[in-house]
Chain A
Amino acid sequence: MSQEFFAKLTQSLVDGDPDATFEYTKGALAAGIEPMEIIKKGLIPGMNIVGDKFSSGEYFLPDLIIAADGMQKAMVLLEPELLKRNQAVESAGTVILGTVKGDIHEIGKSLVGTMLSANGFKVHDLGVDVAIETFIQKATEIKPDIIGLSALLTTTMVNQREVIKALANAGLRNKIKVMVGGAPVTRSWAEEIGADGYAEDAMGAVQIARQLVSK
């Protein structure tokens, strides 16, 4: 019975069918299977297969995003159950993400958020046009491992530097790693403003995030 649910959950992620993932999760919970079992034996194996297929070039970005969506739908059901049992999924790290003040470009930042979540990070996405103070407030509140700052314009890119300065002023800089991204952002810019990491795409961002939390 459990094995059948696990296989179906795994397959629903591999097939890219988030509604099925949601339904099987519901069914598995109703059948009395422990939420942590559902995650470890049903969902994570599915995400791993999707990840492997992406790495080998068989799957494309939409396959990854759709699988991550399925995972998220399942977690909506599973998280309250975990909470009841005083359990928590082991997180790869906590990340605050946002597009800096004056900039409303969303997709790159959101893609990074999805990919980080799919790879086990707990992501707090503050959205776009995020004020410097908002980053600081949130950082003070949840003490993330990483803050990710996105910018698409050369004129707003400078606010990445301002957030880093503000983190220093708030005494948070040495406790939090900062990564930056966006079309005009380059490695030399990242170095100049004292960011800890830079990547050109979402997959690169996941690698950098992993490195940063392992340091």
Chain B
Amino acid sequence: MPNKIRSVHDPRISLNILSKEDIEKIHTATLDIIESVGVRFPSHKALDILEANHAVVDREKMIAKIPGEVIEEALSKAPPNYTLAALEPALDLPLDGTYSHLGTDGCGVEILDAFTGERRRTTKQDVSDVARVADYLDEIAFHWVPISAQDCPPYSRSLHELEAIWKVSKKHLQTESIINENEMQTAIEMAVAIAGGKDALRQRPILSVMQCTTSPLSHDGGSLEAGLVAAEAGLPIGYMTMASCATTGPVTLAGNLVVGNAEVISALALMEMAYPGCPVYYAAAQTAADLRTGAYTGGGPEDFLFGAATNRLADFYNVPLSMGAFATGAKEPGWQSAVENSLSAFMAVSTLSDMLLGAGLLHGSRILSYEMLMLDAEIWSILCATFEGIIVDEENLALDVIRSVGPGGNFLAQKHTKKHMNERWLPRYMDRRPYNVWEQKKDGAREWALQDAQRILREYHPQALDEKLIAELDRIIKAHEDKFKP
């Protein structure tokens, strides 16, 4: 099993995307919207909390207008730093503003079978298989539920997804597929069993939770109530906006940021009102809708800009960010996916987004491709190397070596070269072979990536939990199913 994670740490490159004044304008506009227009919270439980905190609540429309100072006061209680715990402490992920960690994408509904190439609906076995490959890759720091276990009953599906991943990987798990209270409670029961008690889970949250907002300016009742349950248990909880320019948000980028920001911070404030000091994070995957179809695009310059801008907002609120990057709109790995995933990830890392989603999916997060997962990991390794930047010190200036080689020589035989050569980046999938070698088979990145994935799937069978714990998780899921079977 892996014992290290390859994340971007202390990058030497940064990007200036929004000025302090820009951020303040967006913040002021956001508070204005939350206070004057309000946000829909279709949950009486949520509205009760908001009302007790001086929000003006319309129970019929389920809209809360929350005073700006109440939002600010609530957000000030959120812890700025915390750690996403792993089952293996060496795989813990600090969210302290110096790292960017990459997770898988979610939640796809189809998979390109690694061995037959067939595109088909996803199952619990697929969830487990993808988790094994993600576990193998040092570049993948944490799991999202990458695809849906559609062969499991809807009322316990998200629990089967968690179990499938926990059984094979000790990396941190962030679920984005639990959207009601009772499944959240059972998921926590499972996490408590693994962590060894409620307090142990609170101390070392091996599970974090992501919920979606419903743009524009709305939440889902089940998502709010599930989030409150998670916050009570001390699990890091984030709310993700996917406001899309021209459809679920204004067509202009700044306006879209305001709408998304209102959704996210109103939900985070609710969590802090209910459980002051609970770990929360900002989450976003904003985009521009395609102007011809209205569809979610999952790529393009707007996404890149949102990717960089959003961490400035999260920094302003002093909470970590989980940012949608990668997640190409392409139908297969290729030119489009390479451009979109490289640039979106570069931009999100350039402002040090704490968590990045997500590797491995095609067609706007709908189809899992093992090739894509492997190729995305390679993009990440390029970024890790790039963000290390250029270190200028005596050793790196290498004056002694330059002197000893002098004009016209070469550096290959130098000890200095041997000492540092492993710092240079080496590709797994870039084709640097001579032309005639390539010409023989004309193969390349896609074939190699798929072969690697096939090899991992055949050979790598990690067991993260002992039999007793697995039996306990099975028992908990079974009890849930008995109770909630319609």
Inter-chain contacts of A154 with B (CB < 8 A): 107, 109, 148, 150, 154, 157, 177
Q: Is A207 an interface residue (CB 8 A)?
A: no
Number of chain B residues whose Cβ lies closer than 8 Å to a Cβ of chain A: 32
Min CB–CB distance B224 → chain A (angstroms): 12
Q: Which of A166-215 contact B (CB under 8 A)?
A: 183-184, 186, 188-189, 200-203
Asked if residues A57 and B292 are in contact (CB atoms below 8 Å), the reply is: yes
Q: Which of B345-371 contact A (CB under 8 A)?
A: 364, 366
Min CB–CB distance A204 → chain B (angstroms): 8
Inter-chain contacts of B214 with A (CB < 8 A): 104-105
Given contacts A154-B107, A154-B150, contact A184 B366 (CB under 8 A): yes
Chief secondary structure at chain A's binding surface = helix
Q: Is A111 an interface residue (CB 8 A)?
A: yes
Min CB–CB distance B245 → chain A (angstroms): 11
Q: Is B131 an interface residue (CB 8 A)?
A: no
Inter-chain contacts of A202 with B (CB < 8 A): 293-294
Q: Which residue of A lies closest to B183 (CB)?
A: A155
Interface string of A50-87 (1 = CB under 8 A from B): 00000001001110000000000000000000000000
Asked if residues B295 and A107 are in contact (CB atoms below 8 Å), the reply is: no
Min CB–CB distance A187 → chain B (angstroms): 10
Inter-chain contacts of B251 with A (CB < 8 A): 62
Asked if residues A203 and B293 are in contact (CB atoms below 8 Å), the reply is: yes
Q: Is A158 an interface residue (CB 8 A)?
A: yes
Q: Which residue of B lies closest to A65 (CB)?
A: B294
Interface string of A103-142 (1 = CB under 8 A from B): 0110110010000000000000000000000000000000
Q: Is B113 an interface residue (CB 8 A)?
A: no
Inter-chain contacts of A33 with B (CB < 8 A): none
Inter-chain contacts of B294 with A (CB < 8 A): 61, 107-108, 111, 201-202
Min CB–CB distance A69 → chain B (angstroms): 15
Min CB–CB distance B345 → chain A (angstroms): 23
Interface string of B95-117 (1 = CB under 8 A from A): 00000000000010110000000
Given contacts A154-B150, A155-B157, contact A188 B121 (CB under 8 A): yes
CA distance A54 to B293 in the complex (A): 10
Q: Which residue of B lies closest to A200 (CB)?
A: B295
Inter-chain contacts of B246 with A (CB < 8 A): 61-62
Inter-chain contacts of B366 with A (CB < 8 A): 183-184
Q: Is B296 an interface residue (CB 8 A)?
A: yes
Q: Is A153 an interface residue (CB 8 A)?
A: yes
Which listed residue (A57, A184, A201) contacts B109, Cβ 8 A?
A184
CA distance A184 to B365 in the complex (A): 10
Asked if residues A104 and B220 are in contact (CB atoms below 8 Å), the reply is: yes
Inter-chain contacts of B109 with A (CB < 8 A): 154, 184, 186
Interface string of B151-168 (1 = CB under 8 A from A): 000110110000000000
Interface string of B387-430 (1 = CB under 8 A from A): 00000000000000000000000000000000000000000000
Asked if residues A61 and B148 are in contact (CB atoms below 8 Å), the reply is: no
Asked if residues B296 and A107 are in contact (CB atoms below 8 Å), the reply is: no
Residue among B221, B246, B292 having the largest count of chain A Cβ atoms under 10 Å: B292
Q: Is B268 an interface residue (CB 8 A)?
A: no
CA distance A105 to B212 in the complex (A): 11
CA distance A105 to B244 in the complex (A): 14
Min CB–CB distance B421 → chain A (angstroms): 47
Asked if residues A107 and B291 are in contact (CB atoms below 8 Å), the reply is: no
Q: Is B461 an interface residue (CB 8 A)?
A: no
Q: Which residue of B lies closest to A158 (CB)?
A: B154
Inter-chain contacts of B454 with A (CB < 8 A): none
Asked if residues B110 and A186 are in contact (CB atoms below 8 Å), the reply is: yes
Min CB–CB distance A211 → chain B (angstroms): 19
Min CB–CB distance A159 → chain B (angstroms): 9
Asked if residues B121 and A60 are in contact (CB atoms below 8 Å), the reply is: no
CA distance A200 to B179 in the complex (A): 24
Q: Which residue of B lies closest to A153 (CB)?
A: B179
Q: Which of B80-139 contact A (CB under 8 A)?
A: 107, 109-110, 120-121
Inter-chain contacts of A61 with B (CB < 8 A): 246, 289-294
Q: Which residue of A lies closest to B365 (CB)?
A: A183
Inter-chain contacts of B120 with A (CB < 8 A): 188
Inter-chain contacts of B291 with A (CB < 8 A): 60-62
Q: Is B248 an interface residue (CB 8 A)?
A: yes
Given contacts A61-B246, A62-B246, A184-B148, contact A201 B121 (CB under 8 A): no
Q: Is B146 an interface residue (CB 8 A)?
A: no
Q: Is B42 an interface residue (CB 8 A)?
A: yes
CA distance A108 to B293 in the complex (A): 10
**Which 4 A-B residue pairings sit nearest by Cβ, starting from the closest?**
A60-B291, A155-B154, A201-B293, A154-B148
22 A/B residue pairs, CB under 8 Å, sorted by A? A61-B246, A61-B292, A61-B293, A61-B294, A104-B42, A104-B220, A108-B294, A111-B294, A153-B179, A154-B157, A154-B177, A155-B157, A155-B179, A156-B154, A183-B366, A184-B366, A186-B121, A188-B120, A189-B121, A201-B294, A201-B295, A203-B293
Beyond known contacts A60-B292, A155-B155, A183-B366: 12 more, CB 8 A cutoff: A60-B291, A61-B291, A104-B42, A104-B214, A154-B157, A154-B177, A155-B157, A158-B154, A184-B109, A184-B148, A186-B109, A203-B293
Residue ranges of B at the interface with A (Cβ–Cβ < 8 Å): 42, 107, 109-110, 120-121, 148, 150, 154-155, 157-158, 177, 179, 214, 218, 220-221, 246-248, 251, 289-296, 364, 366
